Structure 1
Amino acid sequence: MYKSEQASRLSELTSADDYMNICMDGVSHKGSPGPEDKLFDKDRSCCTSEITSNIHMNTSWYNLDWSHCPQQLSPQCRARFTQDLCFYECSPNVGPWLVKVDGMKIRNERFVDVPLCHSECDAWWEDCRDDFTCVENWSRHFNWTSDGAKCPANTECVTFETMFKNSTNFCEKVWDHSWKVVNDSNPEGCFVMWWQEDTANPNYDVAYRKAQAIVSGAPDALPKWFHNDHSALII
């Protein structure tokens, strides 16, 4: 069991640098971003190189198998979910979007509505639209057993295109609104999950602008759908 942070820690962030120097309070995360020479973002990472190695080697994570339908996930779709998982475990730039959650074994916090570039979402969608799933929300809707996540009774495996209809619904709903799809021209910027090697992480500037806006008192209400009862949130 990992060390749980105090419930009040997010409310104690008072500067933009505070928001940029915090990692999600989760079982696989560091306390704050730090150097990892073997990782893509060598200077700032919220995970160790061992975590990323395990992500690429394992077919499931937290007892969730991406290929939970009889049809195995295609290699290109699996690669996209691996990128997404690496972002979840390793990104040092989600501080401004962290919120507290209760009653979970793997984390005390999650990120909500991180702005994802529409082009990034579309690329993910194109690589996965012909793959199969049985539920729309992978954080809440599986039947969790001792053997991991199972498709609930009375559900059937259908293509992502049948389940989600379009790229925006897919990116926003599959992980329970962790992502918010925005235009690439969004004036506040947007996130990518991959960028050219040996260049600075472009997500840093987007996050820092958001942190500055929060500190300056700009309106920052959570979306109306969000509430504090996360008892049904599993991963």
Structure 2
Amino acid sequence: MLLLVLGLTLTVTAAKDILNICMDGKHHKTQPGFEGKLYKQVDQTWRNERIMHVPICKTDCEEWWADCREDHTCKVNWHKGWDWSSGINKCPTNSKCQKFSQVFPTPQDLCEKLWSNSYQYTQHDRGSGECIVMWFNSALMDNPNVAVAQHYAIQMGLIASASSAKLTVPLFLALLASDLL
């Protein structure tokens, strides 16, 4: 039993040691990669890196907008500008709550502005291999976003072909976060 616990401890410690080598995100991988040069550096109190212009499928963006259009928000950009004085985020003083459809008149407005250009609206549909699918049932299908990562990795010259490297979800996220997309 002691050997089993020691073995598990050493395995966890070894995996922990190689986490976060290239990015400052936590628990996103167990092996180092080249992600560090793919994330945009930012100077914010709560993070140093972020994704930018990740291509989002037209259908996902439109469904997201349709689902939220009757909800209310007081801000266009949710990344910054909240009142945190109470310890939780609240609308800034003198802000006005409005329907999403008023703040974001189109699906593209919502997808690109809500998280300050983390996502980029595309004309691509799910299954095209050129845009991320935000919501899918992993019990019913493989992650469709791996093909998207492979597409952009090939386009960026990071791999020669889809069969030349097995892309993991963390690597896929790093590729999609690249400013080159």
| TM-score normalised to structure 1 length | 0.51
Post-superposition offset of 1:199? 1.8
Residues matched between the structures, number: 141
CA deviations 1:14-40 (Å, max 9, x no partner) are xxxxxxxxxx532xx314169xxxxxx
Are 1:169 and 2:109 an aligned pair? yes
* Aligned equivalents of 2:28, 2:93: Cα separation in 1: 39
CA deviations 1:55-101 (Å, max 9, x no partner) are xxxxxxxxxxxxxxxxxxxxxxxxxxxxxxxxxxxxxxx98962222
- For 2:109, the aligned partner's letter is N
User: 1:191 pairs with 132, 135, 156, which one?
Assistant: 132
Q: Which residue of 2 aligns with 1:178?
A: 118
Aligned-residue CA RMSD in angstroms?
A: 3.2
User: 1:100 pairs with 29, 41, 51, which one?
Assistant: 41
SS of equivalent to 1:149 = coil
Q: Which residue of 2 aligns with 1:25?
A: 24
* Aligned equivalents of 2:108, 2:38: Cα separation in 1: 19
Compared CA separation, residues 138 and 123, structure 1 to 2 (3 A): same
Q: Unaligned regions of 5+ residues in structure 2, if any?
A: 1-16, 159-177
- For 1:25, the aligned partner's letter is D
User: 2:57 pairs with 117, 120, 138, which one?
Assistant: 117
SS of equivalent to 1:180 = strand
**Which structure has the larger Rg?**
2
| TM-score normalised to structure 2 length | 0.65
User: 2:97 pairs with 131, 135, 157, which one?
Assistant: 157
User: 1:147 pairs with 69, 87, 90, which one?
Assistant: 87
Q: Unaligned regions of 5+ residues in structure 1, if any?
A: 10-23, 35-93, 224-235
SS of equivalent to 1:168 = helix
* Aligned equivalents of 1:159, 1:33: Cα separation in 2: 42
* Aligned equivalents of 2:130, 2:36: Cα separation in 1: 16
- 1:131, 1:160 within 8 Å by CA — same for their partners in 2? yes
Give structure 1 regions of 4+ aligned residues with deviation exceeding 3 angstroms: 3-6, 94-97, 185-188, 220-223
